A = this chain, B = another copy of it.
Amino acid sequence: MPTDPTARRLVDLTPDECWTLATTRPVGRLAWNGPHGPTVVPVNFTLDGSNVHIRTTPYSAAAQEGDDSPVSFQVDSIDADDHTGWSVLMRGRAHFDYGGQRVAGGPEPWLSGPRSLPLRVEVIEVSGRRLVASD
């Protein structure tokens, strides 16, 4: 029987692969569980090998709802034509630095106006999967 050229399967990524792949993307998604269920917002970020660094404002929903909470940070790259790609999920805990000190190597804010609140996601668990052509 001929191989189905569209058939794809999922392969687990190692934690090292997850960290390396995540650095290749400019934007990831921060998710937390608020009073209305899960919230997911795109953010730019930097990584330092054990933390995700994001910048937000004290008035953001993330800051209002996510402090010292279990959060996730998700990054992916999907080729919709080829049906291949990968996705990485970093589970951790959110720490907002209300001292507002800029983290060395932290992300440049894209938004004008005050984005003065550094958010560090302390990563506790990393997992990821790659969607590849079936053999």
A76 contacts B by Cβ under 8 Å: yes
Of the candidates B26, B38, B83, B113, which one forms a contact with A72 in the assembled complex, judged by CB atoms under 8 Å apart?
Answer: B38
Q: Which among A10, A36, A37, A85 has the highest number of chain B CB atoms within 10 Å?
A: A37
Taking a contact as CB atoms under 8 Å apart, the answer to whether A29 and B36 are in contact is no
A78-90 vs B, CB cutoff 8 Å, 1 = contact: the mask equals: 1010010101010
A37: chain B residues within 8 A (beta carbon): 33, 70-72, 91
Of the candidates B7, B78, B80, B85, which one forms a contact with A112 in the assembled complex, judged by CB atoms under 8 Å apart?
Answer: B7
Q: How far is the CB of A131 from chain B (nearest CB, A)?
A: 7
A9 contacts B by Cβ under 8 Å: yes
A46 contacts B by Cβ under 8 Å: no
Q: Residues on A close to B: CB < 8 A?
A: 4, 6-10, 26-27, 29, 31-33, 36-42, 44, 70-72, 74, 76, 78, 80, 83, 85, 87, 89, 91, 110-113, 125, 131, 134
